[in-house]
Amino acid sequence: MDYLPIFMNVRGQRCLLVGAGEVASRKAALLVRTGATLIVVAPWISDPVRDLVNQHGGEIHERGFTDNDLNDVVLAIAATDDDKVNRHVSELARERNLPVNVVDQTELCSFIVPAIVDRSPVVVAISTGGSSPVLTRQLKEKIDIMLPAAYGRLAAMLGSLRDRVKLGVTDFSRRTRFWEKLLSGPLPELMLSGREQEAMQLFETSLARADDDQSQGEVYLVGAGPGDPDLLTLKALRLMYAADVVLYDRLVSPEIMKRVRPDADKVFVGKEAKHHPVPQEQINDMLVRLAREGKKVLRLKGGDPFIFGRGGEEIDQLAAAGLPFQVVPGVTAASGCAAYAGIPLTHRDFSQSVRFVTGHMKNDEPDLDWPVLAKEDQTLVIYMGLITLPVICEQLQAYGMNSAMPVAIVEQGTLPQQRVVTGTLQDIAGKVEAAGVKAPAIIIVGQVVKLHRELAWFGH
């Protein structure tokens, strides 16, 4: 982030506005909405600015800016059409460590004013760091439409009840679960539809039963997809934000981890070829232990948890322990990476079936059914096969597959740094070595690979 998003309390504080034209009037209106005491300095004062000061109090100084105008103020906004004045205000404010904003000149700002969706006390601030005001406005419009006006009443009601809940539910973790359960139930909808009395009755009933609600933990086994955070399901996003603890794999991209609840404990349990710092048995035990402690545990896996993700082993242990769990499918690497590479896994002219296999080695050799895999009327997708690629190519040819069969390697599929290397069974291993391809990468073998050049769309 280029800017730290904060909300500053300026109620009753002196805030300087240098300039009093049309642009300045919008900043003045925003400041008085927050309860600030407006100090306006300008040779000419527009009627809207004068009216705001007359209605809400403050000071008007009809003259040019002087250095002393920065005395006893908590922030400054320069909104003049004189670049020299704007720069002087910015430089002097920075020398005094005062927050300063110069309208439409981000290089002179120590803070910027975001677009705002106001459902007080719920306030949503949107910013693109000054890079695209039009995009900022469009995002504001979308959120404005989606966020009901009654959310302000809901937030105010919840705020008025916090002290009662704190007295009634003293344990912090249980109190958090109380609020989560309350807000995931019918109470918000009752408030949003104007049935406030019923909402209060529901609150009273829930609070009276809080001591009886001995919430046990739960495990969410969630597929994070191949990397692009836009491929996460809505349910995955909801559970990612609900979890107290996150156990995540190496293939979960940093962009996806940013969607996890910020205050959740994050535990890396990733594995790669010949390197398992946290054995699978230990991961299984951790899931059971954390759930028994009453925590909501997110087991976040790249791709889909039930496709070479060992998710079945994990829920076996959870089921044996009698612990509740949910499974959320993810976009598996085969479909995600192939789609982003412009390679349809099935096609009427080239392939009537698709087969997923893993290239993991057993006794230093891929343990695969080569006669079945060497059939040419199918698409073969090989996970975790980069290390054994030369052996895979040799075996497929040895069992009858044409050495000219097209092959694609998709590295970092669905991410901005995605790279696709194509070749044939005969030469792909050499091309991959020359290109320095590294995991994660997926192997696609079949006639459908021919379509890559024509249908590739991502990054083009």
* pLDDT, tens digit (0-9, with 9 covering 90-100), for 144-158: 988 888 889 999 999
Q: Which residue has the tokens 């969607």?
A: 259
The fold of the 335-455 domain, in CATH, is 3.30.950
In whole angstroms, what is the distance from residue 54 CA to residue 76 CA?
20
| Feature table: binding site | 22-23, 43-44, 226, 302-304, 307, 332-333, 384, 413
Cα separation, 129 vs 194, whole angstroms = 37
Choose, from 27, 69, 249, 295, the residue flagged as catalytic.
249
What pLDDT does 84 receive? 96
pLDDT of residue 214: 58
- Give residue 2's pLDDT: 83
| 100 DSSP β-pair partners | 76
Pick the CATH number of 218-331 from 1.10.760.10, 3.40.50.300, 1.10.10.10, 3.40.1010.10: 3.40.1010.10
* Intra-chain end-to-end CA distance of the chain, in Å: 27
**In this predicted structure, which of 158-167, 193-202, 270-279, 316-325 has the lowest mean pLDDT?**
270-279
Position 413 scores a pLDDT of: 95
pTM for the structure as a whole = 0.71
Please say if the pLDDT value at position 191 is more than 60: yes
Tell me which amino acid residue 14 is: R
Helices 428-435 and 389-398 meet at what angle, rounded to 10? 170
pLDDT over 60 (residue 275): no
- pLDDT 10s digits, 43-90: 999 999 999 999 999 999 999 999 999 999 999 999 999 999 999 999
Neighbours of 326 (CB within 10 A): 12
Give residue 174's pLDDT. 83
**Is residue 271 among the annotated active site residues?**
yes
User: Once rounded to an integer, what is the mean pLDDT over residues 234-257?
Assistant: 92
Task: Assess whether pLDDT exceeds 80 at residue 211.
Answer: no
Domain boundaries, the chain: 14-113, 151-212, 218-331, 335-455
What are the residues whose beta carbons fall under 8 Å from the beta carbon of 156, sequence distance 6 or more? 121
Angle between helices 151-168 and 172-183 (to 10 degrees): 150
Kind and range of the H or E run holding 355:
strand 354-358
Residue 133, pLDDT score: 86
Q: Which of 266, 271, 431, 450 is catalytic?
A: 271
Q: By mean pLDDT, which of 124-133, 208-217, 243-252, 378-387 is the weakest?
A: 208-217
Catalytic annotation present for 166: no
Q: Which pLDDT tens digit goes with each residue over 405-441?
A: 999 999 999 999 999 999 999 999 999 999 999 999 9
Task: State both tokens at 240.
Answer: 């990612």
Q: State the alpha helices, DSSP H only, in 399-445.
A: 428-435
Angle of helix 280-292 relative to helix 311-320, nearest 10 degrees, comes to 40
List residues bridging with 41 in a β-sheet.
18, 61
Residue 38, judged by CB atoms within 10 A of its CB (0-12, 13-18, 19+), counts as buried
**Annotated binding-site positions for S-adenosyl-L-methionine:** 226, 302-304, 307, 332-333, 384, 413
The residue among 92 and 189 whose pLDDT is bigger is 92
CA-based nearest residue to 283, from 263, 297, 262: 297
CA distances to 18, 67, 274 from 70, in Å? 10, 6, 63
User: What CATH architecture applies to the domain 151-212?
Assistant: Orthogonal Bundle (1.10)
Q: What letter would DSSP give residue 113? A: P
Give every CB contact of residue 48 below 8 A, 6+ residues apart in sequence.
Answer: 25, 28, 29
Per-residue pLDDT tens for 441-456?
Answer: 999 999 999 999 999 9
The pLDDT assigned to 436 comes to 96
Q: What's the pLDDT score for residue 361? A: 62
Rounded mean pLDDT of 155-174?
91
Q: For residue 129, what pLDDT is reported?
A: 85
Phi and psi at 341, nearest 5°, equal -90, 0
> Residue type at 151?
Y
Q: Which positions ≥6 away from 130 have C-beta within 8 Å?
A: 106, 109, 112
Task: Say what the pLDDT of residue 276 is.
Answer: 60
Asked whether 54 and 71 are in contact (CB, 8 A), the reply is no
Q: What percentage of the chain has pLDDT greater than the value 90?
A: 77
Mean pLDDT of the region 188-194: 86
How many residues make up the chain in this entry?
Answer: 460
- Residue numbers belonging to the annotated binding site for NAD(+): 22-23, 43-44
Q: Does domain 14-113 have CATH number 3.40.50.720?
A: yes
Q: How confident is the model at residue 231 (pLDDT cuts 50, 70, 90)?
A: very high
Nearest to 109 by CA among 82, 86, 85, 131: 86
